[in-house]
Amino acid sequence: MKLRLAHLYPDHMNLYGDRGNVLCLQARCRWRGIDLEVVRLGLGDPFNAAAYDLVFIGGGPDREQVRVAQDLTEVKGRALKEAVEAGVALLAVCGGYQLLGHHYRPAAGPDLPGLGVFDAYTEHPGPAAKRCIGNLVAQRNGMMLVGFENHGGRTYLGPGSTPLATVERGFGNNGRDRTEGACYRNAFGTYLHGSFLPKNHRFTDHLLGIALERRGVRDLLTPLDDTLEERAQVAARKLALEPRKRFPWSDQM
Ligand code: GLN
């Protein structure tokens, strides 16, 4: 069995080990005898809507987002939206997530147009604003999600997207409404770095399950020995719930 993943902008959008998400998907496939081919697509490379089972885009600073926003609008956007409508499993982290909303207003400079995959918009309050930094724990229909967030932008969801999870500790989308991330069809956006997927094996398998199901394969998502993954998640949750160090550049929680 072979699956194919498009890794978008690996050279420009790769903060806090975001590439680990791709490695994790590959490892959990390999352990089940599934071959996950990873195709790296950078600035200028076209995106073929029918070619992929999974899509991943990581986070990046405002500077890189300017170039990526332009490429998304001019080169890959139409086909990427087509793939999302067709049900491709997509994960977007932080800066990538922000660019899949309607717009991102950076700390300085003009608004960047987003793809509008998610009914959401993001605005950075400006260069003097404090950042949302720290370990986060959230709940998604009984599934715990943990990770590390570091963003200046605050995201607000419209009725066309549902939150990925509810924040137990941390800032999430905007530090106010306790939402974290967004979902639309099989596309998921999150503020969680970390890397996100190695710490959240159930969610990783959720993505793989979607990809396999779309290929009509129902019996390959076999259980794995997740003892270490469970322990990592418990440790990450503990860390997130501990009293916080106060950093002058981070907002208070
Ligand atoms: N530039 C964005 C922000 O600070 C995204 C940062 C990131 O991807 N971690 O809001």
Judging by beta carbons within 10 Å of its beta carbon (0-12, 13-18, 19+), is residue 116 exposed, middle or buried? middle
d(CA 135, CA 57): 21
Among the listed residues 12, 24, 29, 94, the single catalytic one is 94
From 62, 99, 136, the mutation candidate for ligand 1 (largest count of ligand atoms within 8 A of CB) is: 62
Q: How far is the CA of 27 from the centre of ligand 1 (A)?
A: 27
CATH architecture of the region 2-241: 3-Layer(aba) Sandwich (3.40)
Any idea where the domains of the chain sit in the sequence? 2-241
Is the Cβ–Cβ distance between 93 and 210 less than 8 Å?
no
How much distance in Å is there from the Cα of 41 to the middle of ligand 1?
20
- CB of residue 61 inside a 6 A radius of ligand 1: yes
Which listed residue (12, 124, 193, 201) is catalytic?
A: 193
* Residue 149, ligand 1, Cβ within 6 A: no
Question: Is 193 an annotated catalytic residue?
Answer: yes
User: Is the beta carbon of 95 within 6 A of some atom in ligand 1?
Assistant: yes
182-184/35-41 β-pairing: unpaired
Looking at the CA of residue 193, tell me the nearest atom of ligand 1. Answer: 9
pLDDT given for residue 253 in this prediction: 60
pLDDT of res. 91: 98
pLDDT recorded at residue 154: 98
Q: How many other β-carbons are positioned within 10 Å of the β-carbon of residue 63?
A: 10
Cβ–ligand 1 contact at 58 (below 6 Å): no
Q: How many CB atoms lie within 10 A of CB 128?
A: 6
Global confidence as pTM: 0.97
Is 103 an active-site residue?
no
pLDDT in tens, 86-106: 999 999 999 999 999 999 999
Regarding the beta carbon of 124 and ligand 1, being less than 6 Å apart is answered yes
Q: How far apart are CA 111 and CA 54, in angstroms?
A: 28
pLDDT of residue 246: 67
Ranges of residues in the chain with a pLDDT under 70 are 245-247, 252-253
The H or E element that residue 145 is part of is strand 143-151
Q: What is the pLDDT of residue 244?
A: 75
